[in-house]
Amino acid sequence: MKTISENICHGGTQGVYSHDSTATGGEMTFGLFLPEEAKLGEVPVLWYLSGLTCTHENAMTKAGAQGWAAEQGIALVFPDTSPRGEDVADDEAYDLGKGAGFYVNATQDPWKPHYRMWDYVAEELPALLGREFAIDLERQSITGHSMGGHGALTLAMAHPGRFKSVSAFAPIANPTQSDWGKKQLGAYLGDDTGQWAKHDASLQMTEVGFDGPVLIDQGDSDNFLDLLKPEALAHAMMARRQDGIFRMQKGYDHSYFFISTFMEDHVVFAAEALYA
């Protein structure tokens, strides 16, 4: 593992690190905020999964999460959204390829050699964090935005008992029925739509639900509403009587202005579950 940078931030440390990844077959970069309490012992962690076109850096610099995490004494981890490198397959479109890993393990060429973001986020990076930093892997929560909200919800429901809470900002909620999903799941996983279901939060909410609290924030002025399909997730939560909160925020769009406005709520929501 290489240290790219470390800066004092709200009494803790905001670091950026890189390492060779077995899952993605190349070098991966991630951001990690450790609160001051990590100097004394292990701290719980909140994962933040970013959306299309993002790297580890976007949320780390724009979401304003570190101050709230420092108040709660929790770590924040900001993974990248896809593999990188000259030998990694890409596409001219912004919503496929680099920056658009969709948190799946690709089974189709040319994507399958490197696009294994599910294994990277679910297995490899947590193990690295547990070895190298004062992170308590028994206390994890997860959140994310857009494509990252999709990833947070599907990973949380696929790993019962791992995450104490899950939340999302404007998640891609029903990708099997959206152009933000059909295109990517078809490319990465092939034409067998039966393989897509585990990566659809609305379908998984109907099928298995989440064994903890859920918080969803969606702006009602989001210009991607027809692609995100939040109503499918809201209906699934209600039908299952999921322990959760779904909020439509009047006037808010899809931007980091929206995320930063409600970030305190999501950090405190995670912390309450992590320290329960």
* Distance in angstroms (rounded) separating the CA atoms of residues 107 and 74: 35
Question: By residue range, what is the domain housing residue 79?
Answer: 2-275
Return the pLDDT at 201: 98
Phi/psi at 211 (nearest 5 deg)? -85, 45
Distance, CA of 57 to CA of 92 (rounded, Å): 22
What's the gap between Cα 174 and its chain centre?
A: 16
Q: Pull the structure tokens for residue 138.
A: 């028994």
Domain count, the chain: 1
Q: Which of 80, 200, 217, 222 is catalytic?
A: 222
Helix, strand or coil, per DSSP, at residue 64: coil
Distance CA 238, CA 205 (A): 10
Look up 222 and say whether it is catalytic: yes
- 194: amino acid identity, one letter: G
Structure tokens at 121: 């986020």
pLDDT at 226: 97
Q: What CATH number corresponds to the domain at position 101?
A: 3.40.50.1820
Which one is catalytic: 56, 114, 199, 254? Answer: 254
Q: How many CA atoms lie within 13 A of 196 on its CB side?
A: 21
**pLDDT one-digit tens code per residue, 140-194:** 999 999 999 999 999 999 999 999 999 999 999 999 999 999 999 999 999 999 9
How far is the first Cα of the chain from the last one, in angstroms, to the nearest whole number? 33
Question: Which residues in the chain come in under a pLDDT of 70?
Answer: none
Annotation says 254 is catalytic: yes
Residue 200: what pLDDT?
Answer: 98
- HEC per residue, 199-233: HCHHHHHHHCCCCCCEEEEEECCCCCHHHHCHHHH
Exposed/middle/buried for 40, CB within 10 Å: 0-12, 13-18, 19+? exposed
226 catalytic per annotation: no
Amino acid at the residue 64: G
Q: What pLDDT, on the 0 to 100 scale, is given for residue 160?
A: 98
- pLDDT of 159 reads 98
Query: What predicted TM-score, i.e. pTM, was given to this entire model?
Result: 0.98
Residue-wise pLDDT for 126-145, tens only, equals 999 999 999 999 999 999 99
| Cα gap 163→173, rounded to integer Å | 19
Catalytic residue among 141, 146, 167, 202: 146
